[in-house]
Amino acid sequence: MSNGTATRVAARNGALLPGASTRVPVAVVLAALLFGLGAFAPVHLASEFVLRIASGGLLLGMLALSVAFLMCQAGLVALGAASVYGGVGYLFAIAMSEWDLSPTSALLFAFVTVVLYSVALGALIVRTNPLAFMMLTLAAGEMINHGVMLEALRDYTSGADGLVVNFKGAILGMTAADLANATQFWPIAWSAAWLLGLAAYAVRRSRFGAILRAIRDNEERMRFSGFDTYLPRLVAFVFVNAIAAICGLLHVLNSGFVSPESLGLGVSTNALVAALIGGVAGSTGPIAGGVLFAFAQDQFGARGFTQLLTGVAMVVFIVALPRGVVGSLVEAARRNLLPKRGAR
């Protein structure tokens, strides 16, 4: 952004300030209404089957959010989101069954371990170029996948069979049965999607977000201007992995089962495609993309075409609709509803 644009933006913001001060509470009230409505209305209106698909979609959407955030803000595409998503579930299960941790401490243990893993992995790979980063995340994901299938770890991971996760006691007042119940799980998934979406929004709007985008656009310039270009990317990598880990924990709590499929490349590409369907730029896009993907998968998945359609969607959305569904709608709305701002 050139200096002239910056002044113009500042001037415009200044001019709009009196209006903005009344507009912001309206937006907040609307959002709160939408949040409340979304948390409770579907529970009464939708069938359990639809709720189950929708919460699955929200989980995929949150994973897509982690992929999209890194893609849009740092210009890095991660193809290994599933290894964190599934890996955290394995750790949670193993911590309870093998080391007798309570569910809450197992949850914390799994989360912290995965975050530490992503710090170590990120430290190695974020300094490479974006293409190498893409290849390396794919390789690291496959490494975790192979690791879980290792014969030597069969006692812990039970190989291709997967693990049943049936915890005793309660986490934040919810038992395993409560969490497996679609109507009780929906408000949790809905709130988590909002929280993570808002967190991503806050980070995007912060100074840190601006630095990340500047590094994405021209790393050399940022280095030359005296910025550290390594640490921000590492922090971003850890941040998105923390999102993926939360998402994976919600998944294992809900499904009560963790299998090698949840670690596989299939889940990573699904998340990527969900992000592309919704649009990678905001928080709403990827989450909505996840829900769209889940319902599309329900339509076509039974015939065994899910993977094929994943590939087709990936190509079509990148080539023809790079902003995704939500991004294109926002763009169209902006063009049609705010003609004056565009003309200025």
Partner 1 sequence: MSGDKGGGSAHDAAMRFQGSSQVVRPPCLWTTSVIAPLIANSLALASLLIMLSSGLALIYGLRDVINFGHGALYMLGAYLGYSIALVGGFWVALFFAPLLLALLGVVFEYGVLRPLRGRSHIEVALVTLGLGIILGQALIFIYGGEARGVDAPAALAGSVSLYNLSYPVYRIFLIAMGLGSCTALALWLRFSTSGLYVRAVSQDPSVARMMGVNSDRLSLLVTSLSAAFAGVAGVLAGPYLSVDPGMDVTMIVDCLIIVVIGGTGSIAGSIVAALLFGFVQVAGSVFLPDLAALAPYVLLFVVLLIAPRGIGRGRAPA
- What binding mask, one character per residue, do residues 224-253 give for partner 1 by CB under 8 A, x or -? ------------------------------
Is the Cα torsion angle 32, 34, 38, 44 positive or negative in sign? positive
Pick between residue 231 and residue 315 the one whose CB is nearest to partner 1. Answer: 315
Q: How far is the CB of 232 from partner 1 (least distance, A)?
A: 18
Two tokens at 180?
A: 């497996």
Q: How far is the CB of 114 from partner 1 (least distance, A)?
A: 17
The three state secondary structure string of the chain is CCHHHHHHHHHHHHHHHHHHHHHHHHHHHHHHHHHHHHHHHHHHHCCHHHHHHHHHHHHHHHHHHHHHHHHHHHCCCCCCHHHHHHHHHHHHHHHHHHHCCCHHHHHHHHHHHHHHHHHHHHHHHCCCCHHHHHHHHHHHHHHHHHHHHCHHHHHHHCHHHCEECCCCCCECCECHHHHHCHHHHHHHHHHHHHHHHHHHHHHHHCHHHHHHHHHHHCHHHHHHCCCCCHHHHHHHHHHHHHHHHHHHHHHHHHHCEECHHHHCHHHHHHHHHHHHHHCCCCCHHHHHHHHHHHHHHHHHHHHCCHHHHHHHHHHHHHHHCCCHHHHHHHHHHHHHHCHHHHHC
Of 2, 5, 129, 336, the residue at the interface with partner 1 (CB under 8 A) is: 129
Pick between residue 38 and residue 266 the one whose CB is nearest to partner 1. Answer: 266
Pick between residue 118 and residue 269 the one whose CB is nearest to partner 1. Answer: 269
**Span of 25-33, 35-43, 292-300, 304-312 interacting with partner 1 by CB under 8 A:** 304-312
Two tokens at 44?
A: 């009464």
Of 308, 332, 333, 338, the residue at the interface with partner 1 (CB under 8 A) is: 308
Q: Give yes or no for residue 325 binding partner 1 (CB under 8 A).
A: no
Please choose, from the candidates 153, 167, 247, 270, the residue with its C-alpha nearest in 3D space to the C-alpha of residue 199. Answer: 247
**Span of 40-48, 260-268, 281-289, 290-298 interacting with partner 1 by CB under 8 A:** 260-268
Pick between residue 29 and residue 139 the one whose CB is nearest to partner 1. Answer: 139
Query: Considering CB under 8 A, how many residues would be counted as binding partner 1?
Result: 46
Q: How far is the CB of 115 from partner 1 (least distance, A)?
A: 19
Pick between residue 57 and residue 264 the one whose CB is nearest to partner 1. Answer: 264
- Report d(CA 192, CA 146) in Å as an integer: 30
**Span of 107-115, 137-145, 178-186, 236-244 interacting with partner 1 by CB under 8 A:** 137-145
Q: How far is the CB of 22 from partner 1 (least distance, A)?
A: 40
Pick between residue 104 and residue 307 the one whose CB is nearest to partner 1. Answer: 307
Of 136, 189, 196, 236, the residue at the interface with partner 1 (CB under 8 A) is: 136
Pick between residue 125 and residue 246 the one whose CB is nearest to partner 1. Answer: 125
Q: Give yes or no for residue 116 binding partner 1 (CB under 8 A).
A: no
Q: How far is the CB of 180 from partner 1 (least distance, A)?
A: 25
Amino acid at 162: G
Give contact residues for partner 1 (rule: CB under 8 A): 75, 77, 79, 124-125, 127-132, 134-136, 138-140, 142-143, 145-147, 149-152, 260-261, 264-267, 269, 272, 276, 307-308, 310-315, 318-319, 322
